[in-house]
Amino acid sequence: MGGLSSRSSSGGAQPVNAGTHLVRRFFQSLVDRGPDPQGEAWLLGLLTDAETPLYWQMSAADRSHALRSAKCPALVDDAQRVAAALHDAGKIRAGLGTWARVGATLMGKVFPRGLRGRWADYQDHPHLGAAILRESGSAELTVVWAAEHHLPLSESTLAPDVAATLAAAD
Ligand SMILES: [Fe+2]
Ligand SMILES: [Fe+2]
């Protein structure tokens, strides 16, 4: 993964812990009506032809999260912005709404390997997303970050500064 490790962050990016991230995403999902069209047009300009339909399959709340992530000032280049935007692309397979996601998240904590169907797909969205993005010909950084974005930073295969920057953007 040498090409990935050569990227450096501007420093100072502080990833939040997983619990804080989930709570914040939950409340954002309740009030979110979708990203602003101008920001969305900017982001679409960064995506490939194959990534664009994946983006449009995401829910309005997920597209808002994608845009907010891609706009994080700590990101150093467009490769990181695209990786930040598409990290949750695997959620399009599960197609769960906000409350079902809460259920899947909580049940996943209680029964780490016991979920089935769309709940299991939601729980497995990092791997599903990575597979979809790889099929779509996305950049290696985009694929790897989708696969690893719920791992502890210490387990990431990306360069530590890159992983920390992308986690801060999430
Ligand atoms: Fe995720
Ligand atoms: Fe996320």
**pLDDT value at residue 93:** 82
Give the ligand with the smallest distance to the CA of 66: 2
How far apart are the CA of 114 and the centre of ligand 2, in A? 23
Q: What share of the chain in percent tops pLDDT 70? A: 81
Q: Is residue 3 part of a domain?
A: no
CA gap 12, 126 in Å, rounded: 26
Number of separate helices (H) and strands (E) present in the chain: 12, 0
Q: Is residue 141 part of a domain?
A: yes
Q: Does 108 or 61 have the greater pLDDT score?
A: 61
Q: Is residue 118 part of a domain?
A: yes
Give the ligand with the smallest distance to the CA of 90: 1
Residues bordering ligand 1, an ion, CB closer than 5 Å: 88
pLDDT-based confidence at residue 34 (cuts at 50, 70, 90): confident
Structure tokens at 113: 């390997």
**pLDDT value at residue 46:** 98
Give the count of domains, the chain: 1
Structural domain including 93 reads 17-169
**pLDDT over 50 at 13, yes or no:** yes
pLDDT-based confidence at residue 2 (cuts at 50, 70, 90): very low
Give the ligand with the smallest distance to the CA of 24: 2
How far apart are the CA of 126 and the centre of ligand 1, in A? 6
Region of 20 (left: φ > 0; alpha: ψ -120 to 50; beta: rest) is: alpha
How far apart are the CA of 18 and the centre of ligand 1, in A? 10
Q: Is residue 145 part of a domain?
A: yes
**pLDDT value at residue 83:** 98
How far apart are the CA of 131 and the centre of ligand 1, in A? 14
**pLDDT value at residue 51:** 98
How far apart are the CA of 86 and the centre of ligand 2, in A? 9
Q: Is residue 68 part of a domain?
A: yes
pLDDT tens readout for residues 109-150:
777 777 777 777 778 899 999 999 999 999 999 999 999 999
**pLDDT over 50 at 86, yes or no:** yes
Give the ligand with the smallest distance to the CA of 92: 1
| Arithmetic mean of pLDDT, 91-95 | 82
CA gap 97, 103 in Å, rounded: 10
**pLDDT over 50 at 1, yes or no:** no
Q: Is residue 6 part of a domain?
A: no
**Residue 124: partners with Cβ closer than 8 Å, 6 or more residues away:** 90
| Arithmetic mean of pLDDT, 86-106 | 79
